[in-house]
Amino acid sequence: MPWEPRTVVDKRREFVGLALQPEANVRELARRFKISARTGYKFISRFRSEGVTGLEDRSRRPLHSPSQSSPRTQERVLEIRERHPRWGGRKIAARLKALGCEEIPAPSTITEILRRHGLLGPGMRGGQSTFTRFEHDRPNALWQMDFKGHFATDTGRCHALTALDDHSRFNLALEACANEQGKTVQTKLEAVFERFGLPQTIITDNGSPWGGGGAQNVWTPFCVWLARLGIRVSHSRPRHPQTMGKDERFHRTLDVELLQGRRFRDLKETQRAFDRFRSIYNHERPHEALGYEPPAKRYTPSQRSFPKMLPEIAYGDHDVVRRVDVNGKLSFRGRAFRIPKAFKGFPVALRPDQDDDGTYNVFFMATPIATLDLTEPT
């Protein structure tokens, strides 16, 4: 299948960046990106010899003309700043280094260049406090996912679905959606899973379609689908947005560097802008928390591939299996117990709690979903 034309270079760059990671499986990546292995190796070779320019179609104009390849250092600084008006001295210095420039000024020198040209606005003065950040020790151990607050287009509203890898800050999804329904999220995530594989855990906010906020509301059909894929679902603490801090920070960056002062005709135009921003964010934009490397330098796809069919629901020989009825209840030892309605129609397993006599833990596949206390009369 051919590449989608609207973001062809960005997708090639993303493919090559992932393929060049240590221990990358190029053929598996090519399958996920829906190209042949031969095409994948071709663009890896071009990138190694020509850089990003080698990812252009041969008939197209190269990204950088010869007259722009060796400008003066100050011109390079101003050029990067023009492309990225919110980048300061540290990010520009890191980008110059990534571009292979021979002369790289100190961040303070770059700040002075910006100041002399009247480009150092409020809030961009170069001094930033440091603090301790928590992150998982490997890619795909945890993905943070949420909707950014919706905004208006000329023809309706856009609900921006975002997903970020906790370890690398790599943006896995930036999707312009018409709504925030579970089916919409599932459709978008299927494409993400096909490309990047499955994470161990996904943490989301509380509320629809994520679930959370009470025993009967923790699980939604969307969360059940994730559980069938073997993905653990976690929810942030209510009124504690710092639990989703990296994705929240990504939302602020998206606001400042793309959305402020802009309006889009429709979701298609919004998605084109999202795709371009995502490529820059992942592959060019130096990230302070990553030692001013872009997120793609730290991200590798998951080894767990997205299955073409959902795995069969099966339990052990010693499990007590019951099916949840249409009202969200199961029967056990002559009593009816309430189970989250998202599991209606599904079989679940009951296993005695070894540390608490009279208590049974309820599992949906490998995921614990409820506890039954037979000592309670109600």
Q: What percent of the chain has pLDDT over 90?
A: 51
pLDDT tens readout for residues 232-283: 888 876 554 556 789 999 999 999 999 998 999 999 999 999 999 999 999 9
* Pairwise CA distance, residues 253 & 168, whole Å: 16
Which tens digits make up the pLDDT trace of 39-50?
999 999 999 988
The pLDDT-based confidence of 65 (bands split at 50, 70, 90) is very low
Q: What is the model's pLDDT at position 213?
A: 54
Is the pLDDT at 377 greater than 80, yes or no? no
Q: Which residue has the higher pLDDT, 208 or 188?
A: 188
pLDDT at residue 179, rounded to an integer: 95
Separation between Cα atoms, residue 377 and residue 335, nearest integer Å:
10
Give the model's pLDDT for residue 330.
92
Identify the pLDDT of residue 68.
Answer: 33
Distance CA 31, CA 9 (A): 18
Supply the pLDDT for residue 132: 40
Peptide bond into 238 cis (omega under 30): no
How would residue 184 be classed by pLDDT, with cut points 50, 70 and 90?
Answer: very high
Between 68 and 252, the more confident residue is 252
Q: What is the pLDDT of residue 169?
A: 95
* 3-class state of residue 317 by DSSP: coil
The predicted model gives 57-79 an average pLDDT of 57
Of the listed ranges 37-51, 72-86, 135-149, 209-223, the least confidently predicted one is: 209-223
Amino acid at 7: T
What burial class does residue 199 get, using C-beta atoms within 10 Å of its C-beta: 0-12 exposed, 13-18 middle, 19+ buried?
A: buried
DSSP state of 355: T
The tens digit of pLDDT for each residue in 302-359 reads 999 999 899 899 999 999 999 999 998 999 988 999 988 889 999 999 999 877 778 8
Pick 239 or 186 by higher pLDDT.
186
- Residue pair 92/113 in contact (Cβ under 8 Å)? The answer is no
Tokens 């109600």, residue? 378
Quick one: tokens of 277? 């921003």
Residue 73 has pLDDT above 90, yes or no: no
Two domains, one topology: 70-116 and 142-297: no
Instruction: Provide the pLDDT confidence category of residue 64 given band limits of 50, 70 and 90.
Output: very low
Q: Which of 111, 127, 129, 128 is nearest to 119 (CA)?
A: 111
Amino acid at 52: V
Buried b (16+ CB within 10 A) or exposed e, 10-21: bbbbbbbbbbeb
Average pLDDT over residues 126-141: 62
- Pairing mode, strands 151-153 and 156-165: antiparallel
- Mean pLDDT of all residues belonging to the chain: 84
In this prediction, residue 57 carries a pLDDT of 79
- Mean pLDDT on 69-90: 73
Q: Are residues 163 and 172 in contact, defined by beta-carbon separation less than 8 angstroms?
A: yes
Q: What residue type is assigned to position 363 of the chain?
A: F
Residue 211: which pLDDT band, with cuts at 50, 70 and 90? Answer: confident
Q: Which residue has the higher pLDDT, 14 or 378?
A: 14
Query: Where does 70-116 sit in CATH, by number?
Result: 1.10.10
Of 129, 140, 176, whose CA–CA distance to 300 is shortest?
A: 140
Least Cα distance to 73 among 109, 37, 24, 35 occurs for 109
CATH number of this structure's domain 142-297, picked from the four choices 3.40.50.300, 3.30.420.10, 3.30.530.20, 3.30.70.600:
3.30.420.10
Cα–Cα distance measured from residue 176 to residue 267, given in angstroms and rounded to the nearest whole number: 6
Q: Where are the domains of the chain?
A: 5-55, 70-116, 142-297, 320-373
Per-residue model confidence (pLDDT) at position 324:
94
More confident residue, 65 or 191: 191
Predicted confidence (pLDDT) at residue 63 exceeds the cutoff of 70: no
pTM value is: 0.74
Contacts of 270 by beta carbon, 8 Å cutoff, 6+ apart:
153, 158, 176, 264
Phi, psi of 351 (to 5 degrees): -130, 130
pLDDT tier, 58 (very low <50, low <70, confident <90, very high otherwise): low
